A and B are shown apart, each in its own frame.
Chain A
């Protein structure tokens, strides 16, 4: 069974995110009032061949822990679609 995995990686909360700050500043300058706490990360999409949704998620979780996210500086979340 093929599953579509969406991985979301963001800088760990509390860690300085200069890109997020720059984007936040730009949004304010553009007149978007009340925006704050902007974090810039990355989205990764991939296909996984697995026996079940749980197996696909377990595989994706391992990919995040080993390569897609840096455990020192980033947090990740993922969703799996059939």
Chain B
């Protein structure tokens, strides 16, 4: 069974949601504390949403240097899969495991509501269960979700097809450049996005349209291509 480590920082608050979504998809979920350096042989690491270290300095800036992130860095560099959701995405950008940065929402308000997003990259460990172009409505909940990157980086991301999720036109809740909601590394083994599919991964919470991210993970073959889920 595929092993998924959900990292908990002081201030993480979507850790149980992510754990539940992973377990419900049929993978083995474990929690890893921010002071730990042992990822318990995880195939996939999830950095969940929340406000790690109170978002002090910048969102994700302090978490990036926590002991567990040194282990996550090694895991990621060795080709291991890492998914950062919301605050996890911010941490991955701060750690420079993903390009760009997340800054204050353009309207300065915290946004917490479902928005329409489109899946644009499906050859990753966490999006293979979706067809390219799938549109779904999943929650966002953030104050610092405006994705920015320099022009060269944006050109590279688009040219290499590394935008994983994009807000549907007119739905962009934070001013992100090019409506980008999430990006990946070239290999598709490191993915970060602002929306919270773990909140829509069980009909109990109103919708399970986001469960496909976790089914993708459960079906993923480490070191190989995504297993067909059809």
Residue with the highest number of chain B CB atoms closer than 10 Å, among A15, A16, A19, A72: A72
Shortest CB-to-CB span from B86 to chain A, Å, is 17
Task: Tell me whether B108 and A18 are in contact (CB under 8 A).
Answer: yes
Contact-residue bracket for chain A: 10 to 19
Residue with the highest number of chain A CB atoms closer than 10 Å, among B58, B61, B106, B107: B58
* A interface secondary structure, majority: mixed
CB neighbours (8 Å) of B65 from chain A are 67
* B interface secondary structure, majority: loop
Residue with the highest number of chain B CB atoms closer than 10 Å, among A11, A16, A68, A70: A70
**Does B73 count as interface, using CB distance less than 8 angstroms?**
no
Which of B58, B93, B94, B106 touches A18 (beta carbons < 8 Å)? B106
Q: How far is the CA of A67 from the CA of B107 in the complex (A)?
A: 26
Contact-residue bracket for chain B: 20 to 34
Assess A72 versus B175: contact at CB under 8 Å? Given A18-B104, A19-B108, A67-B57.
no
Task: Tell me whether B175 and A70 are in contact (CB under 8 A).
Answer: no
CB neighbours (8 Å) of B108 from chain A are 18-19, 22
CB neighbours (8 Å) of B149 from chain A are 72
Shortest CB-to-CB span from A38 to chain B, Å, is 14
User: Interface readout for A6-46 with B: 1 if CB under 8 Å, 0 if not?
Assistant: 00000100011011001000000000000000000000000
**Does A73 count as interface, using CB distance less than 8 angstroms?**
yes
Interface contact tally, CB-CB below 8 A: 34
CB neighbours (8 Å) of B58 from chain A are 70
Which of B99, B103, B106 touches A73 (beta carbons < 8 Å)? B103
Which of B104, B107, B148 touches A72 (beta carbons < 8 Å)? B148
CB neighbours (8 Å) of A67 from chain B are 57, 61, 65
CB neighbours (8 Å) of B160 from chain A are none
Q: How far is the CA of A67 from the CA of B53 in the complex (A)?
A: 14
Task: Tell me whether A19 and B104 are in contact (CB under 8 A).
Answer: yes
User: Interface readout for B43-76 with A: 1 if CB under 8 Å, 0 if not?
Assistant: 0000000000000011001000100000000000
Task: Tell me whether B100 and A18 are in contact (CB under 8 A).
Answer: no
**Does B164 count as interface, using CB distance less than 8 angstroms?**
no
Complex interface residues of chain B between 105 and 134 (CB less than 8 A to chain A):
105-108
Shortest CB-to-CB span from A17 to chain B, Å, is 8
Assess A68 versus B57: contact at CB under 8 Å? Given A18-B104, A19-B104, A73-B101.
yes
Assess A16 versus B106: contact at CB under 8 Å? Given A67-B57, A70-B94, A72-B148.
yes
Interface on A for B, CB 8 Å cutoff?
A: 11, 15-16, 18-19, 22, 67-68, 70, 72-73
